[in-house]
Structure 1
Amino acid sequence: MDEGRVRVLHVPGGHGYVANIQDERVPEVLVVPEPRAATPGWAPSPALDAAWVEANAAAFDVLHLHFGFESRTPDQLREWLAALRRTGRAPVLTVHDLQNPHLDDQRPHEALLDVLVPGVDALVTLTPGAADEVERRWGRRPVVVAHPHLAPPAEIGVPRPRREEAVVGLHLKSLRANLRALPALRTLTAAVDRLPGTRLRVDVHAEALADGFVRHDPDLLRWLRAAQGRVDVRVHDRFDDDELIAYLRELDVSVLAYGHGTHSGWLELCHDLGVPVLAARTGHLHQQRALVQVDLDDEDDVVAGLRRALAGFEGAAATREERAAERLRVAEAHRDLYRRIAGGGA
């Protein structure tokens, strides 16, 4: 501990969620910069290596793991936890994903959780339902702490523009494994056709349509080409943060066509910007933020859900004041947890 402050190393350190579980009104937590990987492009954090922990343990009191451990093996994570134990450092895991949205086969992800969940000093998750699931599977109850805002405070609570034509948006991004693109598109197109004055907009990253892309779907490509004129299809590179906010402000409903998952950062950003969300009944989204959930294979259910979303519903939009108060609570909850385990009270 540094002058009464707990020194916390977050992995990864550069994620928006991680930045916003901290707050200047909670100065008792000192965030330690995450080490940079030596190789260009994405690589697992050096802080997930047992040798790095042994060499750098004096720099931090708590190591808080969030994401980015999927390339580690169970044995590597066991070695990493053992290094933290030997050096007297306290590991924390936030269970964001009980199901990895980037994987079809969940067995590798579950094998890593089987090491991490029993092995860390403390657990956090975002919803009571996820905490219940962790407790059923591993016999440990995480602390439940809400997901903080993701949009910059100045963007939260800004009134959405009024449009003569309502826009329902589905962003396919780069065809993540948990996305049920074609089934959702077929149902949404038919549903939107039944809603006068409503347009379906479909965005997709250009890389996803290239022949050599790892998740290239020729059936989807054919569908998108055939839908031109009936559906507003837009192909482009990945949005940066400002472009993503601008895109969401152009929607009246954002659709999440997830086939599996646990929580959603996209849902949080929509909440910040006041964009109603319609999603399939997956994971614990319903406990995270207010949204409309439907069976995305049932056209009638989707029509009814879109009508509810377009009409607006309580809790769809955050206010700046609510998010500021929530961020303080989130930061205080993490501070209290860090103090407890750094002081040997795990």
Structure 2
Amino acid sequence: MLPRPRAAGRIVVASVPANHVYVRHLAPEDGSGPVRLPDPPPAEAASTQQWWPPVMLDAAWVEDNDFDVFHLHFGFDARSPAELRELVAALRRRGKPLVFTVHDLRNPHHPDRRDHDRQLDVLVPAADALVTLTQGAAAEIRARWGRDALVVPHPHVVPLDTMRCAAASREVRRRGPRPREFRVGLHVKSLRAGMHPHPMLPVLVDAVRDLPGAVLQVNGHNDVLRPDGKRYDAALAEALQHHAARGEVDLRIHDYLDDDALWAYLASLDVSVLPYRFGTHSGWLEACRDLGTAVVAPSCGYFADQAPVLTYGHDEDHLDADGLVAAVREAYAGHVAPAPGVEERRAQRARVAAAHARLYESLVGDGR
């Protein structure tokens, strides 16, 4: 059994994963609090920074390593229910409590919900403690499994120093001598299963055309919008090229953006429209809020429960085109919630970290 790296008296958490921005921001800024073990690199990893697929989900890893609490967030997509049951059994044999944060009640990468539901049917009943991000998700968990989840809000995504710079830039633009463009962003990324921008595109084109100085900017990845891309969507790509040729869309096609480029892109928008037809919570939403970019979010999932957003009707069965137009117009008129400031996010992070530390302590107590 490998010894655990531990400072005196600090709880050691096997966090799956550890190197994810959400998980990193569960820790106090000063690095105090529980110790999170680093992600073991998979055997086939190209670098020491790669955490997928998570080695900690192997029952053998649980048997061979020491820690106080096992906390699962993401990364179990490729694990069968039988493999997850083996993980739970290994934790039980070791007497290690399992904490499960239910980020996704519907997996945004799966067109069919059944596999994810089967995984949840193992993890939710087995967990010693459940965490989720919204009251709406907690209510669904209670209805489906009869379990109560601790509701802890999503911490900031963007680094606090970057937030501060973005706020200063916004203030300079606000005081500038001339009116600037109003940029409405639709980001199709690599078009994961939960996204359905196709029927939204003509609605947004018409909505933005009616707003003086407004520009519809659509960003997408090469793998979806280039003919040689592995996930090329001809219908979407051709529609975008058509609107771009008519000057109705500012189309940006590129590879994945690194963090600095992503923050700069989001900060350049006035509003980001989330094209989801299913899902639960959103880190993208939080990043936009960090950078002062308003969010238009769909009615599916618990996005509107997660933070103050403008909402339009969208799920697997229906798109409310009038509601989408109205939400964009509300954003254009400035009827949006104020962006959280740096100190507000700093204080929230401290509360989030303290809530997790208390939870771990309640599960471990003097037993460690």
Q: TM-score, normalised by structure 1?
A: 0.94
Distance in 2 (alpha carbons) for counterparts of 1:251 and 1:28: 36
Bigger mean CA deviation after superposition, 181-190 or 253-262: 181-190
Task: State how far apart, in whole Å, the 2-side matches of 1:84 and 1:344 are.
Answer: 18
How many residues end up aligned between the 2 structures?
343
Aligned to 1:249: 267
1:89 aligned partner: 96
1:261–1:282: 8 Å Cα contact kept in structure 2? yes
Residue correspondence of structure 1 range 132-147 to structure 2 within 5 A: 132-147=139-154
Alignment of 1:175 with 2:191, yes or no, is: yes
Q: Letter of the aligned partner of 1:12 in structure 2?
A: P
1:169-190, Cα deviation, whole Å (9 max, x unpaired) = 0011001111112111121111
Kindly state the Cα deviation for residue 195 of structure 1 after the two structures are TM-superposed.
1.3
Separation in 1 of the partners of 2:227 and 2:216? 26
Paired residue for 1:329?
351
Question: 5+ residue gaps in structure 1?
Answer: none
Write the distance in 2 (CA, Å) between the matches of 1:339 and 1:32.
17
Give 1:25 shift.
Answer: 5.3
For residue 342 of structure 1, report the CA deviation from its aligned partner. 1.6
- Which structure is richer in relative contact order (CA contacts within 8 A, separation 6 or more)? 1
Letter in 2 for 1:176: R
For the aligned residue pairs, the C-alpha RMSD in angstroms reads 1.8
Which residue of structure 2 lines up, in the alignment, with residue 219 of structure 1?
235
Structure 2 residue identity aligned to 1:125? T
**Cα distance in 2 between the residues matched to 1:117 and 1:299:** 36
SS of 1:312's equivalent in the other structure is: coil
Q: Secondary structure at the match of 2:198?
A: helix
Matched, 1:284 2:302: yes
Deviations 1:81-139 (A, max 9, x none): 10011112111110000000011101000000000000111110000000000011011
Q: What displacement does 1:216 show?
A: 2.4
- Give the whole-Å Cα distance in 1 for the aligned partners of 2:85 and 2:356: 24
* Match for residue 232 of structure 1 among 243, 250, 268: 250
Q: Provide the rounded CA distance (Å) in 2 between the counterparts of 1:210 and 1:170.
A: 17
Q: Distance in 1 between matches of 2:185 and 2:255?
A: 17
CA distance in 2: counterparts of 1:35 and 1:109, whole angstroms: 24
Q: Deviations over 1:270-315 (max 9, x none)?
A: 1111100112211111111111001363443223211211233453
Q: 1:54 aligns with which of 56, 63, 76?
A: 63
1:196 maps to amino acid: P
Match of 1:27 in 2: 32
Change over 3 Å in CA distance of 1:83–1:310 after alignment to 2: same
Contact 2:131 2:150 in 1 (8 A): yes
Counterpart selection for 1:40 from 36, 42, 45: 45
Residue correspondence of structure 1 range 112-131 to structure 2 within 5 A: 112-131=119-138
Measured against aligned partners, the alpha-carbon deviations of 1:165-219 in whole angstroms (never above 9, x if no partner) come to: 2110001100111111211112111111121211100011011124464542211
Aligned residue number for residue 218 of structure 2: 202
Give a deviation string over 1:135-181, Cα, whole Å, max 9, x none. 11011011000100011111225142345221100011001111112
Letter in 2 for 1:169: G
Q: Report how far residue 3 of structure 1 moved.
A: 2.8
- Aligned ranges for residues 153-172 of structure 1 at < 5 Å? 153-157=160-164, 158-159=167-168, 160=170, 161-162=173-174, 164-172=180-188
The worse-fitting range, judged by mean Cα deviation, of 278-287 and 159-168 is 159-168
Q: Which amino acid aligns with 2:306?
A: Q
In structure 2, the partner of 1:184 is 200
Distance 1:28 1:304, change over 3 A: closer
Percent same amino acid at aligned positions?
49
